Amino acid sequence: MTSGWSLYITLFTLAFMIGACWLVWWQRKGSPGGVGFGESMGHDFDGIQELNNPLPRWWLGTFLGSILFAAAYLVLYPGLGAYQGLLGWSSRGQYDGEMKDVEAKYGPLYDRYAGMAIPALLAEEQALRIGERVFANNCARCHGADARGGVGFPDLTDDDWLFGGEPDVIKATIAAGRIGVMPPFAPAIGGEAGIPAVVAYVRSLSGQSGDAQLIEQGKAKFQAVCFACHGVDGKGNKVLGAPNLTDDIWLFGGKPDDIAFGLRNGRTAQMPAHADLLDARKVHLVAAYVYSLSHAPTEEAGRAGGKPPRAEADDEHEKDRDSQ
Ligand code: HEC
Ligand code: HEC
């Protein structure tokens, strides 16, 4: 706050308080117009007179009390411009203090989990619960509360990965973010005329039927242009985040129109970096949670009391998808 503003606020606040005190003092002997307490104000309605009665004592007491309270508050706490108050309280200080308390309470737990490898954390119910909470607060708005994603937002439960599903890769994705970029490729495959063939071939990669001749034409174009990122076999490239096109799991949709749209306009999706938003130990825990969504605890970890495998839920989901 500049000193000009500080002075302005200070004077304004003090003027109000002094004004309030003056008002009480000014009215102490009845109306300033000269009408004493108990006398008529000169208003008469059907024989009912308005008298100049003093303020009830309890009301006056409350009023004076609140002025005193304000004065004491302004001496102890920040309120008068840039003045910090005798107690030295600040909202940031309070926040830091609360964070310190939390750190004292949970820090050792976080430290212990941070020292454990992610596969081992699958057996730690509590670690996964913390990770789940971090996910709900930071990731669910894009990936969905159930982590199954949506168009342009990958499903994190299916063990199909754009960038890789190894624990360290998941952590790197969360901390540093990712950007997948596919430029518009229609011009490189013969423009509009070339699109149907390439679409048919891409769909054939995951077993959808189509016109054999069209698929053959599309294949030639794919091998000339698309292989550079998606691979000769169409299985993708995790370094680039180029999706596997053979597994019938689609980030942007697998209908002919969806694929054609991507060829005309390109596709870009971004996973924001979270290193500056989340404590490194929380990144570790949320990575463990994400990993747990597609990995059952190992045999030994399972015996130590881990989460049940999610196989059933996944079957359900596949059914949903097929029926869409
Ligand atoms: C603003 C939206 C947004 C938020 C918030 C977000 N993500 Fe993502 N995330 C994405 C998008 C979009 C992608 C896909 C990027 C691409 O295709 O290039 C992605 C990709 C990922 C991947 C890679 C998946 C793969 O198949 O390789 C992981 C893992 C991931 N996110 C985890 C998380 C976690 C954990 C959080 C919370 C800490 C989070 N995301 C928060 C949008 C988001
Ligand atoms: C420069 C590398 C690159 C080239 C070349 C490339 N792509 Fe892609 N493609 C990508 C990336 C990266 C993505 C994912 C974009 C994202 O996640 O934001 C993608 C996404 C796609 C998708 C969406 C997949 C899904 O799961 O929804 C399709 C379909 C696709 N590409 C087809 C093609 C075809 C056909 C060609 C050739 C004409 C091609 N791509 C050429 C990098 C490339």
Give the pLDDT confidence score for residue 238 in this predicted structure: 95
Q: Is there an atom of ligand 2 within 6 Å of 259 CB?
A: yes
Burial zone of 7 (CB within 10 Å; 0-12 exposed, 13-18 middle, 19+ buried): middle
Atom of ligand 1 nearest to the CA of 170: 29
- Looking at the predicted structure, is the pLDDT value of residue 277 above 50? yes
Q: Is there an atom of ligand 2 within 6 Å of 280 CB?
A: no
Give the pLDDT confidence score for residue 36 in this predicted structure: 81
Nearest-angstrom CA–CA distance, 244 and 230:
7
Q: Is there an atom of ligand 2 within 6 Å of 202 CB?
A: yes
Question: Nearest bound ligand to CA 194?
Answer: 2
pLDDT digits (tens, 9 = 90+) for 231-259: 999 999 999 999 999 999 999 999 999 99
* Cβ partners under 8 Å of residue 6, min gap 6: 81, 82, 83
pLDDT digits (tens, 9 = 90+) for 60-86: 999 999 999 999 999 999 989 888 899
Question: Nearest bound ligand to CA 277?
Answer: 1
pLDDT digits (tens, 9 = 90+) for 257-274: 999 999 999 999 999 999
Nearest-angstrom CA–CA distance, 244 and 233:
9
- Looking at the predicted structure, is the pLDDT value of residue 320 above 90? no
Give the pLDDT confidence score for residue 223 in this predicted structure: 95
- From ligand 1's centre to the CA of 299, what distance in Å? 29
Q: Is the dihedral of CA 61, 63, 65, 67 positive or negative?
A: negative
Question: Nearest bound ligand to CA 204?
Answer: 2
Nearest-angstrom CA–CA distance, 233 and 266:
21
Give the pLDDT confidence score for residue 298 in this predicted structure: 65
Q: Is there an atom of ligand 1 within 6 Å of 161 CB?
A: yes
Q: Is there an atom of ligand 1 within 6 Å of 178 CB?
A: yes
pLDDT digits (tens, 9 = 90+) for 167-205: 999 999 999 999 999 999 999 999 999 999 999 999 999
Long-range CB contacts (within 8 A, 24+) of 301-309: 301/119, 301/120, 301/122, 301/123, 302/123, 304/123, 305/123, 305/125, 306/122, 306/123, 306/124, 306/125, 307/122, 307/125, 307/128
Give the pLDDT confidence score for residue 53 in this predicted structure: 84
Mean pLDDT of the chain: 89
